[in-house]
């Protein structure tokens, strides 16, 4: 069938004779079966069924012949707002920045593409390609691959167009552009296949089928009318003034020159490289990993491995024990041991020293009296006397020391500057605490008689 052309556009070009036989059967016309093997599908100079020669002839009939440039080079840097560009199934990476700037200045860009490299351009404006309806309501001879598109909305390109026959198209998803052509399925749903919209002072027109304007499809009256209307729309005068510039018709692989967007050489190189990478990724998703991309990927992977080995192979690493296997410092220990380590540390202040001594004393008292939590201060001091751990004189000294510590703690919690206790004050308090701790820890053997 004619759809074999789409497969050939996505794969190495082969089997042209079989495609010619299929289309001759479809249209019941003999045509030129003796096709030149070097003819480019969808080429502007191709006069066979899969060429664009009739589309180019129509453009030259609509406008002055000297204003139509078919094929050759697209000079980005020489484009004027009065010019127009028609892209049919481009296969080379497009300069999206230059085309966008061209549109903003007032130029017009028409895209007929389904499986070419225009993705980067249309996606820049929020347009995405999506699958077409599986069961179109209207098609040629019941072939779902040849759906019939109908006009939708109001646009000069479809004012006199009854229908457009498509060949293995894709569909479009767009958020903000105006719908021009749709394909309806058997359930009444509409798939958009043509959109138009303003970009700055310019106009963008996108149709999701490259073969809609090829020679074989131009046999349909609706396709011829539509193609002529699109060509006229590309160069007609605009609200901002007369146009009448050059009409560039480019397809397949075409050369480019210069740049319209103001960019430095490094930025231009990076943008082109990124666009080329995106194109290769799209081709890979459709055709599989090609030999060139596979070779480049292999070299890149090998280079990354060598860089990693160079960085890591000669590096010596210190063996460290896991956290659970490391020794715990004395300061991290709890209980009396931790307090003792803190009391010996170099960063200890006199205020903190007194408080730590008090904490150590209270923990020891709680252990000796088996009182958890510890009762109020007067109560546990009285119990120490009653259980003969200390005498009444020691209890009086302890109460006095605890009172001084309470005063220091109150000053510590108060706002403003804190006066550190003197060395003599700390020494007197610590001496009392050491005396009591000595008795509680059994250094004298038994409770005080």
> What does the pLDDT profile of the chain (449 residues) look like in tens digits?
445 445 444 443 333 333 444 444 444 443 443 444 357 889 999 999 999 999 999 998 866 677 899 998 999 999 999 999 999 999 988 999 999 999 999 999 999 999 899 999 999 999 999 999 999 999 999 999 999 999 998 899 999 999 999 999 999 998 788 999 999 999 999 999 999 999 999 999 999 999 999 999 999 999 999 999 999 999 888 877 788 899 999 999 899 998 886 655 555 566 566 666 666 666 666 666 666 667 777 787 888 888 777 766 665 556 666 665 666 555 455 555 555 555 555 545 777 778 888 888 888 888 888 887 888 888 888 988 998 888 999 889 998 989 888 887 776 665 444 567 888 888 899 899 888 888 887 754 444 44
Radius of gyration of the chain, Cα coordinates, nearest whole angstrom:
44
In this structure, are residues 173 and 128 in contact, taking their beta carbons and an 8 Å threshold?
yes
**Strands 68-70 vs 128-130: parallel, antiparallel or unpaired:** unpaired
Q: What dihedral angle (degrees, nearest 10) is formed by the CA atoms of 311, 315, 321, 324?
A: -10
What topology is assigned to 4-262 in CATH? Answer: Rossmann fold (3.40.50)
Provide the residue count of the chain.
Answer: 449
As annotated, the residues of the chain forming the CATH 3.40.50 domain(s) are 4-262
The answer to whether 47 and 34 have CB atoms below 8 angstroms apart is no
pTM value is 0.55
pLDDT of amino acid 238:
83
CB atoms within 10 A of CB 402: 19
What contacts 70, CB < 8 A, 6 or more positions away? 44, 45, 52, 56, 59, 249, 250
Contact 137, 184 (CB under 8 A): yes
| 152 DSSP 8-state letter | -
> In a 10 Å sphere around its CB, with 0-12 CB exposed, 13-18 middle and 19+ buried, how is residue 42 labelled?
buried
DSSP 95: -
Cβ atoms of 212 and 164 closer than 8 Å? yes
């Amino acid at each position: 069938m004619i759809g074999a052309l789409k497969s050939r556009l996505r794969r190495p070009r082969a089997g042209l004779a079989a495609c010619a036989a299929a289309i001759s059967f479809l249209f019941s016309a003999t045509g030129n079966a003796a096709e030149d093997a070097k003819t480019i599908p969808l080429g502007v100079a191709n006069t066979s069924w899969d060429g664009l020669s009739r589309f180019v002839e129509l453009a030259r009939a609509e406008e002055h012949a000297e204003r139509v440039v078919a094929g050759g080079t697209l000079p980005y840097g020489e484009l004027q707002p009065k010019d127009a560009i028609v892209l049919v199934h481009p296969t080379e990476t497009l300069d999206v920045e230059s085309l966008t700037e061209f549109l903003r200045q007032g130029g017009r860009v028409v895209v007929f593409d389904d499986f070419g490299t225009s993705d980067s351009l249309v996606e820049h404006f929020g347009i995405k390609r999506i699958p077409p309806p599986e069961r179109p309501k209207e098609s040629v001879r019941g072939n779902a691959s040849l759906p019939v598109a109908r006009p939708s909305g109001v646009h000069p390109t479809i004012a006199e167009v009854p229908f457009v026959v498509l060949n293995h198209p894709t569909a479009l998803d767009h958020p903000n552009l105006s719908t021009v052509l749709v394909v309806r399925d058997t359930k009444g749903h509409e798939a958009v296949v043509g959109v138009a919209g303003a970009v700055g002072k310019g106009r963008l027109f996108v149709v999701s089928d490259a073969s809609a304007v090829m020679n074989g499809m131009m046999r349909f009256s609706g396709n011829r009318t539509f193609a002529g209307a699109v060509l006229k729309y590309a160069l007609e005068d605009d609200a901002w003034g007369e146009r009448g510039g050059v009409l560039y018709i480019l397809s397949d692989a075409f050369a480019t020159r210069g740049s319209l967007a103001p960019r430095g050489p490094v930025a231009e190189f990076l943008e082109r490289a990124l666009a080329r990478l995106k194109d290769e990724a799209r081709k890979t998703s459709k055709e599989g990993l090609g030999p060139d991309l596979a070779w480049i990927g292999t070299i890149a992977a090998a280079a990354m491995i060598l860089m990693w080995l160079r960085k890591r192979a000669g590096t010596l690493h210190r063996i460290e024990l896991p956290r659970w296997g490391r020794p715990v410092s004395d300061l991290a220990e709890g209980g009396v041991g931790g307090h003792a380590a803190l009391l010996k540390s170099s960063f200890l202040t006199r205020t903190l020293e007194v408080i730590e001594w008090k904490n150590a004393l209270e923990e020891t008292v709680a252990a000796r009296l088996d009182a958890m939590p510890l009762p109020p201060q007067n109560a546990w001091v009285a119990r120490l006397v009653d259980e003969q751990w200390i005498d009444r004189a020691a209890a009086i000294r302890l109460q006095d020391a605890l009172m001084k510590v309470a005063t220091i703690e109150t000053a510590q919690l108060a706002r403003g500057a804190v006066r550190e206790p003197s060395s003599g004050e700390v020494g007197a308090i610590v001496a009392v605490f050491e005396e009591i701790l000595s008795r509680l820890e059994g250094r004298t053997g038994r409770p005080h008689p």
